[in-house]
Structure 1
Amino acid sequence: MEPQEEFITTEEVEQEIVPTVEVEQDVPVDIEGENDDDDEMMNDDEEALEVDMSNNSLTYFDKHTDSVFAIGHHPNLPLVCTGGGDNLAHLWTSHSQPPKFAGTLTGYGESVISCSFTSEGGFLVTADMSGKVLVHMGQKGGAQWKLASQMQEVEEIVWLKTHPTIARTFAFGATDGSVWCYQINEQDGSLEQLMSGFVHQQDCSMGEFINTDKGENTLELVTCSLDSTIVAWNCFTGQQLFKITQAEIKGLEAPWISLSLAPETLTKGNSGVVACGSNNGLLAVINCNNGGAILHLSTVIELKPEQDELDASIESISWSSKFSLMAIGLVCGEILLYDTSAWRVRHKFVLEDSVTKLMFDNDDLFASCINGKVYQFNARTGQEKFVCVGHNMGVLDFILLHPVANTGTEQKRKVITAGDEGVSLVFEVPN
């Protein structure tokens, strides 16, 4: 029995915005290379595909021969790492046009699904779908990256994250439900296991470090699973801080797949509030610093009879650090923008296809979509400001880069994508 009173009806939504399809700046480009002949692009016996060649990107990187699943950026250097379905990770520069190729990382047994630099920038941690984790050490000021260590403890890794403030520390979750946390030796890049946890009974689908402002003596992680459990861990001791099961969420089945930590600016300094979303549309907000107390629980969408069950899946959650706002993105293409002071939906954006990632930045909300576009909205008004176009398949991930301070030239923010067709595009955000 679902909590009917928790539904947010369309009448409650203050404003619904359907983004415009047209984009002001349409520049056709050949992202494969200037020397390709039309004959090479399409065989005569193949059915002609109609591809929209609208493109307002600044430049591109196209060395992957399969989908780009993951993208990460160095904390200090203009260096990107992308991981793909071609079982490779590539390093390339983010400040040059076109990007300069900086090397390929090999040794993976399956698709590379995570690329993450450690917070101090000394190491690059990558993971693939065969359970392999590779750690590369930066040399010559980050100009070279050498394999320092590798491991394979599980059959398949679902997610991996480096700690945002504690140096050389990362955690990952696997399809068998296990959770692992490691620290990298500064001298030789060897790995020290801090903990492994075996509480989730199905895929550990996402994890998020919490209380990251407490210094290096506090190493805490919250993870969620398809088995409807949410667990918080002390990574130094391996002890559970709390465990949320179906009993704590009104007996509802909630295959959790997304997690997001609220900024302290919204929570009066509490750096342990997380939002968790399930693939059937359940949203929970939890205070991890109060025994996992559930602050909010709701079903975010009432599906129409013709809609697929997975249309309600909450694929991404993002909090604003500037306003009392939180956004969730659904498989059906809806983005719900919540006023976190009252847990009301302030705006609803409707994209053409599934939302893959959301990110607040100052006054803006950026959203990537399976239709191949990244949208920039004014977070407060819901007005569409800019659309990044150029992909002919979905955008699976993206990063947002801010201008480097004190460079003397006026620079703009950049969006860099991970595209399903094997290409990363670099966009300049005009405002």
Structure 2
Amino acid sequence: MSSNDPNHENEEDYLQADDAEEVFERGEDDEMEMDGDYDENMTIEDEITFQNDSAAHFDSHTDSVFCVAQHPVHNHIIVTGSGDDTGYIFDSTPAPRPVLPSSFETTPQPREREALQPLAKLDGHTDTINAVAFTEPAGEYVITAGLDGKLRAYRDTTPKKTGTAWEFFGEAQEVEEINWMAVCPYQKNSEEHKNVIAIGANDGSAWVFRLDHTSANPISIIQTFFSHTESCTAGAWTSDGNLLATVSEDGSFYVYDVFGAAAAAGIEYPAGTSVVLGLTADDQRFAVPGGLYSIAISPSGGIAALGGGEGNIRVIGLPRITASGPSAKGKAAPKSAGATAAGTIMAALQNQTDNIESLSFSQPPFTFLAAASVDGSLAIYDAAHRFAVRRHIQGAHDDAPVVKVEFLPSNRQLSASVSGPLASASAAQQNRSWMFTSVGLDGVVRRWDARGGTTAAAQGLMQEWKGHMPLTENEDGEQSGGIMGFVQNYEGQRIVTAGDDGICLVFEE
């Protein structure tokens, strides 16, 4: 089977990854040798060499920045959330680079770089904001979610929806703490998916809301789910926006038919529920010690990868809904596809030793799955070859936990007929869909080639950017530092980070 077949997801081709793996060790720098004799009376002071590769920075927060999101149309518009209970929206475009003087003897030294300024301050929370998002398709709304259980919504008030002016219009609180938020993908003519978000809470529940500032109830509940018995730790939508999948600390996994598309396609599930698929730790083949904490769904929507404790990953077949045949209104009616694989455990992987913090699938024509672990490693699997381990990069972030990994994103909203900057960006990223980015608590951003290098020393590492403080421990034993998250534009040429040091940095290729 060729790895260039993005649609090859037959059950029999997914087994445990027992193929040979290529393991890379990131070597430490050689110790510096001192020239001449060493003077034992010489006083040596600790010195920290700080490297900053960023093109711009945003420093309005007064505490750790835990989350960051970018506008779906205007990628340079960024929203952040912090431990200071505040969010900000800002333009990440760096200022033009100054022309270097020909002579420092006649021209003064350049001044310190000025920070990017906020476009809007998003306040009103009473605890940490740990999830932020712009809604699809046009980024009309931005919403913040906090550990205080609140959702707070703002709308773009600019006439041409440029994302430069925002106004608060609604708040909702249905749970004690919100763990995550996921925006429903929007497809052409799928108006029911417009401006919809899902959240997961510490009580195990999951909620789906629709935002509409013109409504009497501007943040309205579409669905509520109470399947998990412990904290709902992560969730993801299928790319068509029809199904929502969630995982929990109790080791369970559920898939919900949010808008009824699966039921209309003839996919059966228990009466009175919207659960089209459910697996729990009671099934020993599925059980993961320590629970589940991360999830990713393949671009085709046919499989879900679930990450949990002790480096465990479970790959599960999903029910897929496709359009086939005319409906009464002359439109294509949904029909189930790939139902035989739904609920099947396609692979049980364990090549890393600690919690899987993040998972990401590559875009076609490549079929890679990347996994980031607290053990400091990255693992790359090939879905087209029975999830064989393509590479295991140990010490990918100098043994610090890897917080997030993400392949270059695609722009689902563009068709072949669309022109302009976004169309060019989409075309560019398709040519680089083998590239992925990772961040860790070492404070470094790294860009990788999933296809690997030609030698073990290459490891596939293409580029790295520094600027954040790494994880350190103070006198009280408290740890801080590193990168908590990032976004990258459609071309992958700009990366904006969320730092535990309270700063957002903008890096450019």
TM-score normalized with structure 2 length? 0.69
Match of 2:360 in 1: 318
Q: Residues 211-360 of structure 1: matches in 2 within 5 Å? A: 212-213=239-240, 219-236=242-259, 239-250=274-285, 252-254=287-289, 255-264=291-300, 271-289=301-319, 290=339, 291-301=342-352, 303=353, 312-321=354-363, 322-340=365-383, 341-350=385-394, 351=396, 352=398, 353-360=400-407
Shift of 1:342: 2.5
Percent sequence identity over matched residues?
27
Q: Residues 118-267 of structure 1: matches in 2 within 5 Å? A: 118-119=135-136, 120-140=138-158, 141=161, 142-165=163-186, 166-185=193-212, 187-188=214-215, 190-210=218-238, 212-213=239-240, 219-236=242-259, 239-250=274-285, 252-254=287-289, 255-264=291-300
Q: Residues 345-384 of structure 1: matches in 2 within 5 Å? A: 345-350=389-394, 351=396, 352=398, 353-361=400-408, 362-381=433-452, 382-384=459-461
Distance between the aligned counterparts of 1:50 and 1:329, measured in 2?
Answer: 31
| CA separation of 1:55 and 1:233: change in aligned 2, threshold 3 A | same
* SS across alignment from 1:248: coil
Cα displacement string for residues 81-107 of structure 1 (whole angstroms, at most 9, x for unaligned residues) = 010010000111022425342021100
* SS across alignment from 2:451: coil
Kept in 2, the 8 Å contact 1:17–1:347? The answer is no
Q: Decide which structure has greater strand share.
A: 1
Match of 2:132 in 1: 115
Kept in 1, the 8 Å contact 2:17–2:387? The answer is no
* SS across alignment from 1:247: coil
1:401 maps to which of 482, 489, 498: 489
Distance between the aligned counterparts of 1:20 and 1:386, measured in 2?
Answer: 17
Distance between the aligned counterparts of 1:259 and 1:179, measured in 2?
Answer: 15
Kept in 2, the 8 Å contact 1:224–1:257? The answer is yes
| CA separation of 1:20 and 1:75: change in aligned 2, threshold 3 A | farther
Distance between the aligned counterparts of 1:197 and 1:349, measured in 2?
Answer: 38
Cα displacement string for residues 386-417 of structure 1 (whole angstroms, at most 9, x for unaligned residues) = 111010121100011145xxxxxxxx711110
**Structure 1 gap segments, 5+ residues each:** 1-5, 23-47, 265-270, 304-311, 404-411
2:59 maps to which of 40, 62, 65: 62
Indicate whether 1:94 and 2:92 are aligned. Answer: yes
1:421 maps to which of 501, 504, 509: 501
User: Counterpart of 1:346 in structure 2: which amino acid?
Assistant: R
* SS across alignment from 1:380: coil
Distance between the aligned counterparts of 2:286 and 2:494, measured in 1?
Answer: 44
Kept in 1, the 8 Å contact 2:488–2:495? The answer is yes
User: Counterpart of 1:143 in structure 2: which amino acid?
Assistant: T
Kept in 2, the 8 Å contact 1:134–1:150? The answer is yes
| CA separation of 1:251 and 1:346: change in aligned 2, threshold 3 A | closer
Match of 2:82 in 1: 84
User: Counterpart of 1:375 in structure 2: which amino acid?
Assistant: R
Indicate whether 1:387 and 2:430 are aligned. Answer: no
Distance between the aligned counterparts of 2:203 and 2:93, measured in 1?
Answer: 40
Shift of 1:17: 4.8
* SS across alignment from 1:280: helix
Kept in 2, the 8 Å contact 1:72–1:116? The answer is yes
Kept in 2, the 8 Å contact 1:168–1:186? The answer is no
Which deviates the most, 73-82 or 56-65?
73-82
Kept in 1, the 8 Å contact 2:286–2:345? The answer is no
Shift of 1:20: 7.2
User: Counterpart of 2:121 in structure 1: which amino acid?
Assistant: T
**Structure 2 gap segments, 5+ residues each:** 1-14, 31-44, 96-114, 187-192, 261-272, 320-338, 409-432, 453-458, 470-480
User: Counterpart of 1:246 in structure 2: which amino acid?
Assistant: A
Kept in 1, the 8 Å contact 2:16–2:348? The answer is no
Shift of 1:19: 6.9
Cα displacement string for residues 299-337 of structure 1 (whole angstroms, at most 9, x for unaligned residues) = 333x5xxxxxxxx10011111114221110110101011
| CA separation of 1:181 and 1:55: change in aligned 2, threshold 3 A | same
Structure ranking higher on relative contact order (CA contacts 8 Å, 6+ apart) = 2
Distance between the aligned counterparts of 1:49 and 1:202, measured in 2?
Answer: 46
Distance between the aligned counterparts of 1:127 and 1:197, measured in 2?
Answer: 18
TM-score normalized with structure 1 length? 0.81
Kept in 2, the 8 Å contact 1:19–1:349? The answer is no
Distance between the aligned counterparts of 2:440 and 2:450, measured in 1?
Answer: 17
Shift of 1:259: 0.2
Distance between the aligned counterparts of 1:253 and 1:377, measured in 2?
Answer: 29
User: Counterpart of 2:134 in structure 1: which amino acid?
Assistant: F
Distance between the aligned counterparts of 2:17 and 2:28, measured in 1?
Answer: 25
Shift of 1:7: 8.3
Distance between the aligned counterparts of 1:112 and 1:338, measured in 2?
Answer: 33
Distance between the aligned counterparts of 2:254 and 2:20, measured in 1?
Answer: 32
- Say which one has the larger Rg: 2
Kept in 1, the 8 Å contact 2:126–2:148? The answer is yes
Match of 1:29 in 2: none
Q: How many residues align?
A: 370
User: Counterpart of 2:275 in structure 1: which amino acid?
Assistant: Q
Distance between the aligned counterparts of 1:180 and 1:21, measured in 2?
Answer: 48
User: Counterpart of 2:145 in structure 1: which amino acid?
Assistant: A
Shift of 1:249: 4.3
| CA separation of 1:416 and 1:21: change in aligned 2, threshold 3 A | farther
Shift of 1:248: 3.3
